[in-house]
Structure 1
C-alpha cells in the first residue's frame, strides 16, 4: 500500500492589488517547479473585486474594506484547511496584528521575510533604501521591523517620493494601471539612483507592485531586492505553525434563558479586569427551544439529546475552548454527548462536588434542591458517589413545592423571584435543614435567581452554607482560561 503524505496548503490573497498578487502566485509556482516539490503543495489563490484600491497608498486611506476583505478571504481559506496565508501587500501588513488576533491560521509576514533575507545577504551593517507608498512610510512599518539592529533606512526626499515613487505606482501610466515598462520603470530608476547616491547599499521594494519590475531595474544596474520572490522563498522555507486559539468559553444557553444571563454575569463578576479587553471571550448558543429536560427524564417529553449536542457542536465549530451548560438537569445528558466532542464540557455537578470536598469536613450532610428530573436521573448522586458526605433530597411533599417554585404560574421560570415561589423554596430548604443538612446545593440554575451563594445563610436560628453551582462553574471556567496567553494582563479569580 502506498502512503500519500498530506500536502502543505498555502493560500494567496489576490486583489491587493491584482498584478502583485498574480506575481507572487507565479513566482511561488515557479519556485515549486524549480525545486521539484510541486506535488508536495496545494495552492489556493483567490481574488475578488473590492472597494478599497483608490488612493490606498496615500497617507490617509480608508482601509476598512481592505481589512474586511482579507479577513473574509482567510475565513474562506480556513474551510479548505489552509495552513498559512500569504498577503502580498505592504499596506495590509500595517494591520496584520489586528487580523491575526482574530484568526488562528498564520499569516506569513513579508517583513519577517525581508529581515531574514537581509540578515543572510548582509552579515554586518547594511544601509537600505526603501521604495514604499506614502502610507507604509507614514506607519513606520520598516522602522518598526528593523529598529535596534544593524540596518539603517533611507527614503526618497519628498519631491522624489511624490513625483517618482507614488506616480510610478498609482499614476495613470503607473504599474497598477498595467504599465510594466516605459515611464513607470524610468521613474523608479530615478528614485533608486537618488537613494544610492544617499549611501544605500541596496534598494528594497517596499511595495509589491514595484517588485514586479525588479528584474527590469536590475537590468539597469540597480541592486534591488525583489520582495515578492523573497516572500515566496521565506514561505517555502518556514512552515508556519497554527497559532494558539484565544481562550473562549462556549455556553449552551436558553436552559433556561434567565439562568444563562445570570451565568454570564458570574463569569464577568469573577474575572478581575480593569477594562473591557481584560475579560474572557464568551460565545453563547442561546436556544430556549431545547426540549424540557425534566419532562423527558420523568415523563414522555421529547428527548433533548440531539438539541444539546447540536448546540455543543456549534460552539465547538466557533472555536470555543470548553463548554459550560448552566443547567443542572441537562447534565443528565452530558455523558451521552461528551465522547462525540473534541472539547470538554466542564461538568457543573463534578465541580460542585469537588468544592464541597475541599471546603467542608467529612461527614457533612448536604441537601439538594433541584428539579424532579435532576433527582430522578441521580446525576448528583453519581457525582457524589464515594464522597465523604451524605446527600439528602426533599420528601415528596416538599419536592412538589420545589417544582412549584420553579415551574408554577408564579414560579421562577415565569419571571417571579418573590412571593409564593420564595415561600415554597424556603419551606423545602427548612425541611432539609431540620433533617440535619448544613450545606444546601441550589441544584437548579433558576434557584440562584432567588437565593444567592452564602456560606453563612441564616436559617432557624443557625447558619448554613448555600452553594450555587453556577457560581462554582463560572469560577472554574475563569480558572481554566489560559492566563498566560491573554494579551492584556492577568485574569484572576475574585474570592
Structure 2
C-alpha cells in the first residue's frame, strides 16, 4: 500500500495542534490502515497569532499563514492536511480552491459525530469565539437540521476569558479557573435546553476529560478530527482547468488570443472564466528566421517556456503562433502535458465546416510554408493546400514584417491592402477557403464565411479563433484532454 503523509498546520493554537499530533502518533497502527504513516507538523509564528478572536478581529494574517503552510505541504507532496482551528474554517473554502491537496474539513467531522449522537431537531449548545459565532460557521453546517443556542453575553465573556485570559487554556492552564469557567458556561447552555454541547474551540478538547469527570459531556473535537483523518481515503482534489499560453510569439497576437478565449467563454461573472497562466517571452528567437535563414533555433526557448507553464500547474498548453508549431514535434515528448496543436485543430475545423476535397489557400510566413507542417496535416485530412506564388508571398511577408506591417503596430492601410491582394491571387487559383496562418493576420482581417474579393466570395479561417474555441471546450469539460503518449 502506498505510504501517505498527513500534514498538520500548527501555530493556530499550539496546544491543540500538539494534542492532535500526539493522538495521531498514538493511533498510528489504526491510521496506517488508511495509508497514512507519516505525519508532518509545521508551525511558525505569525502576526496576531495569540490574539483573542473577538468580533472586530482581522483574520487576514491567519488566512495568509494557513495558505503559505498549505503551499509548503503541497510542495512536499502530502496527501491531506489537517487544519485544527475553527476560526480558520471560516475561510477554509477559499484556501481549498487554491489547493489540489484535500484540506480535511473539521466541521464535517463534527457534523458526522453529532449525527450519531442526537436526532435532527435537537438543540445544540455552541461554545465558540465571538469571531466564529459572528461568521455563521455553525449555522452553515448545522442550522438546517438543529436548533442552535449560544451563551448569553455575560457567559460569552466568561468563555472568552477561559480561553484567552491570563489563566486561560492558551496560557497552558487546564485546571483551576479555566476549568471552572468552562463548567459554568456548559451548565448555562444545558439550562437553556441544549441536548448536546458542541465545542467551537480546539482548546476545549484539553478540558474535555476533566469536564467528563464532573458529569458534563463535551465532545473532544481534536479526537473526533483525528478519527476522521484515520478513515479518510486520501485522493487528489480535481484541479480546475488551467491553460498555459506561450506568449510573446508575437506579443500582440498573444493579447488577441486571450481576448478570443474570453469572448468564447460562456461566463456570467468573472469567476466563470478560465484560469490562464502566460509565459510572455518576446525574446524567443524568431521562428521564421530559423526555418528560412538558419538563424538561432527557438526549440530550447519554446521548451523552457512550456516547462515553466507545466510547473505552474497548466493542464494543457496553447501556442498562438503558427510557425512555432514546426517545433512542437520536437518538444512535446519532453512534456507531461499536451500542446494543443493549432494546425491540427484548424484543418479539422475546415473539414467539419466545409467538407473534404476543398482547395485551401495558406497565408502564412515563409517559415511556416517552408516547414510544410500545414501541408502534412492538410494532406492527411484530404484537403488540398496551396500557397501564394513568390511575388504574392512577399506581399504576405511585408504585411507582417515590414515597417508598415502588423508586427510594427499597423492594422490598416498598406499592410491590409497587401494581404487582400494575396487573398485575391489565391482565389484566382481556385482557393475557396483561406487560412490566416500567421497569428498577426487576424489583426487585419477577422474570420468570416463570406469575404468578398473581386467577383468571388471566400471564407477566412482564423486559427487562433479555432484554438480559443478548443481551449474553452476543454475547460468546460465538453471535450477531454488527450494526454501525450510516453
Equivalent residue, structure 2, for 1:329? 323
1:7 counterpart residue number: 3
Correspondence for 1:490: none
Q: 1:50 aligns with which of 46, 56, 63?
A: 46
Q: How does 1:91-490 map to 2 (within 5 A)?
A: 91-122=87-118, 126-149=122-145, 151-162=146-157, 164-482=158-476
The structure-2 alpha-carbon separation of the partners of 1:191 and 1:290, relative to structure 1 and needing over 3 Å to count, comes to same
CA distance in 2, matches of 1:52, 1:385: 67
Deviation at 1:342, TM superposition (A): 2.3
Matched, 1:86 2:82: yes
Q: Describe the SS at the equivalent of 2:255.
A: helix
Listed one character per residue, the Cα deviations across residues 455-487 of structure 1 (whole Å, up to 9, x for unaligned) are 1111012211111100111111112213599xx
How far is 1:374 from its partner? 0.6
CA gap of 1:311–1:36, structure 2 versus 1, over 3 A, is closer
CA distance in structure 2 between the partners assigned to 1:112 and 1:394 by the alignment = 66
Q: Which moved more, 1:351-360 or 1:211-220?
A: 211-220
Contact between 1:251 and 1:284, CA under 8 Å: does it hold in 2?
Answer: yes
- Deviation at residue 267 of structure 1 after TM alignment: 0.7
How many residue pairs get aligned? The number is: 479
SS in 2 for 1:131: strand
Query: Aligned to 1:57, what secondary structure does the other structure show?
Result: coil
Q: For residues 200-256 of structure 1, give each alpha carbon's deviation from its aligned partner in whole angstroms, at most 9, with x where no partner exists.
A: 333222101111221222222211111011000101111232211112221110000
- Structure 2 CA distance, aligned partners of 1:402 and 1:456? 21
* 8 Å CA contact 2:31, 2:230 repeated in 1: no
Distance in 1 (CA, whole Å) between partners of 2:173 and 2:36 is 35
Q: 1:426 to 1:91 in 2, by over 3 A?
A: same
Q: What's the secondary structure of 2:326's corresponding residue? A: helix
Stretches of structure 2 that go unaligned for 5 or more consecutive residues are: 480-486
Q: 1:405 to 1:211 in 2, by over 3 A?
A: same
Residue 40 of structure 2: SS of its match in structure 1? strand
SS at 1:224 equivalent: coil
Q: 1:488 is matched with which residue?
A: none
Asked whether the 8 Å contact 1:253–1:260 carries over to 2, the reply is yes
Other-structure match for 1:489:
none
Q: Which residue is 2:482 aligned to?
A: none
Contact 1:108 1:240 in 2 (8 A): no
Give 5+ residue unaligned stretches, structure 1.
Answer: 486-495
Q: 1:44 to 1:453 in 2, by over 3 A?
A: same
User: How far 1:425 moved relative to its partner?
Assistant: 1.9
Change (3 A) 1:414 1:313: same
> What are the equivalent positions in structure 2 for 1:15-30 lying under 5 Å apart?
15-30=11-26
Gap change, CA 1:371 and 1:39, over 3 Å in 2: closer
Please give the per-residue CA displacement for 1:49-104, whole angstroms capped at 9, x wherever unaligned. Answer: 11133545111321111111111111110111111110000011111111111211
Alignment partners' CA distance in 1, 2:416 and 2:120: 78
The Cα RMSD (Å) is 2.0
Give secondary structure in 2 for the equivalent of 1:312: helix
> Are 2:316 and 2:338, in contact at CA under 8 Å, matched by a contact in 1?
yes
Cα distance in 1, alignment partners of residues 174 and 55 from structure 2: 24
In the superposition, relative to structure 1, how do residues 38 and 64 fare at CA in structure 2: closer, same or farther (>3 Å)?
A: same
Match of 1:346, SS state, is coil
Q: Is the 8 A contact 2:427 2:456 kept in 1?
A: no
Shift of residue 120, structure 1, vs aligned partner: 3.0
- Taking a change above 3 Å as real, the CA distance of residues 340 and 123 of structure 1, as seen in their structure-2 partners, is farther
Contact 1:32 1:38 in 2 (8 A): no
TM-score (norm 1): 0.92
The CA distance in 1 between the partners of 2:461 and 2:32, in whole Å, is 66
Instruction: Name the CA distance, whole Å, in 2 between partners of 1:142 and 1:362.
Output: 62
Task: State the distance in 1 between where 2:108 and 2:376 align.
Answer: 55
CA distance in 2, matches of 1:469, 1:288: 20
Q: What is the TM-score when the length of structure 2 is the normalising length?
A: 0.94
Equivalent residues of 1:56, 1:63 under 8 A apart = no
SS of 1:11's partner is: strand
CA drift of 1:406 comes to: 1.3
